[in-house]
Amino acid sequence: MALGRSPETVSVDLDKSEVALIIGEDDENGMSVRVVAGSEVPEGATELPAAPEIVLALAMRLLKDPDFHDDVLDWYYEHQDDDDDDEEEEDGPAGEDEE
């Protein structure tokens, strides 16, 4: 990103019940983490709904535990094969045509 230029942005529409965890990365500042909710949490609320609470917990863990993102990536790569196996089971055995 050149100095003096604003970064390109992408708009995302969230349903009122959705919460987004936005993770950014650049060479100068490292990782950034933002939480965006589809609706405002009422002021003075004593509890958060489950979705925002989970997303906030993930955001805090990413910010406060430098090794956590590596653990998440390791978990992701270890389980990629599981996702491929699930897709094959849904499609049927590889190489067999449906009649």
**Residue spans of beta strands (DSSP E) within the chain:** 19-26, 30-37
Give the start-to-end residue ranges of the domains of the chain: 19-91
Which residues lie below 8 Å from residue 12, measured CB to CB, with a gap of 6+?
20
Count the Cβ atoms, other than its own, within 10 Å of residue 55. Answer: 19
pLDDT in tens, 55-90: 999 999 988 888 898 898 899 999 988 766 666 666
Please tell me which residue, 87 or 31, carries the higher pLDDT value.
31
For 6-23, the pLDDT digits (tens) are: 568 888 899 998 999 998
User: Tell me, what's the pLDDT at 98?
Assistant: 54
Interior CA angle at 45 toward 42 and 47, to 5°?
125
